[in-house]
Protein backbone atom coordinates (compact mmCIF):
# COMPACT_ATOMS: atom_id res chain seq x y z
CA UNK A 1 0.00 0.00 0.00
CA UNK A 2 1.50 3.38 -0.96
CA UNK A 3 2.35 5.92 1.72
CA UNK A 4 0.44 9.17 1.35
CA UNK A 5 2.33 12.20 2.56
CA UNK A 6 0.73 15.53 3.28
CA UNK A 7 2.43 18.86 3.44
CA UNK A 8 2.65 20.51 6.84
CA UNK A 9 3.69 23.85 5.41
CA UNK A 10 1.98 26.82 6.92
CA UNK A 11 -0.04 29.29 4.88
CA UNK A 12 1.29 32.79 4.33
CA UNK A 13 0.43 35.06 7.23
CA UNK A 14 0.47 38.83 7.53
CA UNK A 15 3.89 40.17 8.51
CA UNK A 16 2.73 41.58 11.85
CA UNK A 17 0.56 38.66 13.01
CA UNK A 18 3.02 37.95 15.86
CA UNK A 19 1.67 41.08 17.59
CA UNK A 20 -1.64 39.27 18.02
CA UNK A 21 0.24 36.47 19.77
CA UNK A 22 2.00 38.92 22.07
CA UNK A 23 -1.30 40.65 22.89
CA UNK A 24 -3.12 37.38 23.62
CA UNK A 25 -0.17 36.14 25.66
CA UNK A 26 -0.05 39.36 27.67
CA UNK A 27 -3.73 39.02 28.55
CA UNK A 28 -3.19 35.40 29.57
CA UNK A 29 -0.32 36.28 31.90
CA UNK A 30 -2.06 39.39 33.26
CA UNK A 31 -5.12 37.29 34.13
CA UNK A 32 -3.05 35.50 36.79
CA UNK A 33 -1.57 38.66 38.28
CA UNK A 34 -4.53 39.61 40.53
CA UNK A 35 -4.47 36.15 42.14
CA UNK A 36 -0.71 36.32 42.72
CA UNK A 37 -0.98 39.78 44.30
CA UNK A 38 -3.93 38.79 46.48
CA UNK A 39 -2.28 35.56 47.62
CA UNK A 40 0.95 37.27 48.62
CA UNK A 41 -0.89 40.13 50.40
CA UNK A 42 -3.38 37.99 52.35
CA UNK A 43 -1.21 34.89 52.73
CA UNK A 44 -4.39 32.86 52.29
CA UNK A 45 -3.45 29.71 50.36
CA UNK A 46 -5.74 27.08 51.84
CA UNK A 47 -7.87 26.76 48.69
CA UNK A 48 -4.95 26.72 46.26
CA UNK A 49 -4.00 23.33 44.84
CA UNK A 50 -0.27 22.59 44.69
CA UNK A 51 -0.99 19.79 42.21
CA UNK A 52 -2.65 22.24 39.83
CA UNK A 53 0.38 24.52 39.93
CA UNK A 54 2.70 21.58 39.31
CA UNK A 55 0.69 20.64 36.22
CA UNK A 56 0.52 24.24 34.98
CA UNK A 57 4.26 24.77 35.40
CA UNK A 58 4.96 21.48 33.61
CA UNK A 59 2.56 22.33 30.76
CA UNK A 60 3.98 25.84 30.37
CA UNK A 61 7.52 24.46 30.36
CA UNK A 62 6.55 22.12 27.53
CA UNK A 63 5.00 25.06 25.67
CA UNK A 64 8.29 26.93 26.07
CA UNK A 65 10.12 23.97 24.54
CA UNK A 66 7.59 23.79 21.70
CA UNK A 67 7.86 27.54 21.10
CA UNK A 68 11.64 27.26 20.96
CA UNK A 69 11.46 24.40 18.46
CA UNK A 70 9.11 26.27 16.12
CA UNK A 71 10.75 29.65 16.77
CA UNK A 72 7.65 31.37 18.16
CA UNK A 73 8.60 34.16 20.55
CA UNK A 74 4.98 34.91 21.55
CA UNK A 75 4.58 31.29 22.73
CA UNK A 76 7.91 31.39 24.57
CA UNK A 77 7.37 34.74 26.30
CA UNK A 78 3.79 33.96 27.33
CA UNK A 79 4.74 30.68 28.91
CA UNK A 80 7.80 32.04 30.67
CA UNK A 81 5.41 34.52 32.29
CA UNK A 82 3.06 31.71 33.24
CA UNK A 83 5.87 29.66 34.79
CA UNK A 84 6.97 32.67 36.85
CA UNK A 85 3.47 33.52 38.11
CA UNK A 86 2.45 29.92 38.78
CA UNK A 87 5.79 29.38 40.49
CA UNK A 88 5.09 32.42 42.68
CA UNK A 89 1.70 31.00 43.66
CA UNK A 90 3.18 27.56 44.36
CA UNK A 91 5.89 29.18 46.49
CA UNK A 92 3.25 31.09 48.45
CA UNK A 93 1.27 27.87 48.94
CA UNK A 94 4.31 26.08 50.38
CA UNK A 95 5.43 29.07 52.46
CA UNK A 96 2.06 30.04 53.98
CA UNK A 97 0.42 26.61 54.43
* pLDDT digit string, tens, across residues 33-73: 999 999 999 999 999 999 999 999 999 999 999 999 999 99
Q: Is 92 inside a domain boundary?
A: yes
What does the pLDDT read at residue 70? 93
Q: Above 60 in pLDDT, residue 82?
A: yes
Domain count within the chain: 1
Q: What is the CATH number for 60?
A: 1.20.1280.290
Q: Is 4 inside a domain boundary?
A: no
What does the pLDDT read at residue 79? 97
Q: Is 6 inside a domain boundary?
A: no
Contacting residues for 42 by C-beta, under 8 A, at least 6 apart: none
Q: Above 70 in pLDDT, residue 10?
A: no
Question: CA-based angle 62:32:39, to the nearest 5?
Answer: 115
pTM equals: 0.83
Q: Above 90 in pLDDT, residue 12?
A: no
Q: Is 3 inside a domain boundary?
A: no
Q: Is 23 inside a domain boundary?
A: yes
Give the Cα separation of 35 and 32 in Å (integer): 6
Give the Cα separation of 54 and 60 in Å (integer): 10
Residue-range definition of the domain harbouring residue 36: 19-96
What does the pLDDT read at residue 8? 62
Name the DSSP letter for residue 78. Answer: H
Give the Cα separation of 51 and 64 in Å (integer): 20
Q: Is 27 inside a domain boundary?
A: yes
Amino acid sequence: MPVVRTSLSQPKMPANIHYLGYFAGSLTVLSFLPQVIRTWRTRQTRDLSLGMFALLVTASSLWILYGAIIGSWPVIVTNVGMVVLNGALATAKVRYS
